[in-house]
Structure 1
């Protein structure tokens, strides 16, 4: 029997399985906890794609800069999380699916027909996720609402300013696919510093220029014409991932210490599945649940 999704072994299943487990635990808390029952839980899926994992997915124009870094498997990687969230019981009271591509927005709208009992709770936004979500964070009454936000970019679309805005609400739990090997590691060139455009992209993702001193060092090498200073890349997957987790710790109440590498069929990390909790009161419990779910 031919399946519609066979690439990359089971790593795509790992992502969806872990997200689903957390969403079930999250909504159960809002059902059973008396204090939480007064709050409105929201699920937000940025870069929501089509909501499915079956039809081919093409890269958007926003990815042109990183086309040379794409893996064959990634073409179908980010599908299914929107529908998965709608299937979770107990339910969220509101669902927000954000997608910039018109064709994929049309596919997402079909979910309202597939889940007619939740149709009035589904909001589909055609917009850039970075700008729309920052406005949403500022305009939502976080005394009455709580949210799980899933950021699953194809590359380096998630800017640090968005992560800061999400953390500032003190009411959002964040699941994030950090493009560890998909883009970041490859932009950290071995032969000297990255070109200016790549440096700017890395600074937007990390929210600081400190990546330079963490990922590169200056060394003196002898040559026939005397000693010269050279820039040497010190970063590997582990060091990059640790640096990003520490960056999350600067803005979120608690952060999972064991993000999960999602690997392709050649066992190369493409993404790092990260978790951070924003609400100080429930952050330790949330991270404890997430760290258990993130275990290999």
Structure 2
């Protein structure tokens, strides 16, 4: 199967994931077991839309870190799950501890966690790379409570599709999409999103304010319902600079908080550099389509903007009470 093409922001997201997993396994190297859960594992190999370069998927990045995860659970719908397993077995024929769980992850995660229960003490990381609002709050609850209370919770990195919700809810149409609203309620485990949607619809919240409130609500729920000590988001933008989704991190571990805070600070400057590079490539391609010759290919280093110290780039603020409760 041909690799699927993704935008540069996907490549950046996966690089942040790889950087964090590398530090995660180093920090937990004294543990005999380490668990990685990938709830929307996708395809092991992807392709850059801008440069056609190969982009390794999340599953391969998790498999290749050292020291290795001893248990890796990959969750995907059929028939993609079958193709994923075949590709993984072919690429890593002697690798043990990797299991593909076919079907809806909201249905298969409980069984997987039950299988892993004998080693529930093991440091655990879950990557929840959903497309829209496919994950259910009950699934996040089970992951958060997987490890015994005397240990820190399983860490989670979750795609929160802030750019999808206004369109899915039809906030600018004649009536809101109630069926889609049900999926939002199931994802958040609460109807506290409704005041955000209503005030976005009336114009009392600007699009930027609404995005902030969506992310804040999700963080608030992770902290106050699931009990995570630290949560924060990183906004992913497309080539035109539009905010498309947020990556929300949740951890109880001091080391995890320190590592991801550093990586988010580092990523802020990188993200803008990558966006400028993609924009320059787009402009060159349009020029060539018009028959205008370009002097040379634009490389990433040619469009690097000024960097700001990490501590000044990323300063997470505490989650506030939900919008409708303030």
TM-score normalised by length of structure 1: 0.75
Tell me: CA distance 1:11–1:261, structure 2 relative to 1, closer, same or farther (3 Å).
same
Matching of residues 136-285 of structure 1 within 5 Å: 136-138=112-114, 140-141=117-118, 143-170=120-147, 171-181=153-163, 183-188=164-169, 189-190=171-172, 194-217=176-199, 234=205, 236-250=210-224, 251-257=226-232, 259-277=233-251, 280=252, 283-285=253-255
Matching of residues 41-190 of structure 1 within 5 Å: 41-54=34-47, 80-118=57-95, 120-138=96-114, 140-141=117-118, 143-170=120-147, 171-181=153-163, 183-188=164-169, 189-190=171-172
* Range that drifts further, 85-94 or 187-196: 187-196
> Which structure 2 residue ranges, 5 or more long, are not aligned?
148-152, 269-326
> Which structure 1 residue ranges, 5 or more long, are not aligned?
56-71, 219-229
2:18 to 13, 17, 20: 20
**Structure 1 residue 79: deviation in Å?**
6.7
User: C-alpha offsets along residues 27-76 of structure 1, whole Å, 9 cap, x if unaligned?
Assistant: 11222x4xxx24x1111111211211049xxxxxxxxxxxxxxxx99xxx
Secondary structure at the aligned position of 2:34 is classed as strand
**How many matched pairs?**
249
Structure 1 runs (4+) deviating above 4 angstroms are 4-7, 230-233
**Structure 1 residue 121: deviation in Å?**
1.7
TM-score normalised by length of structure 2: 0.68
8 Å contact 2:81–2:102 — kept in the other structure? no
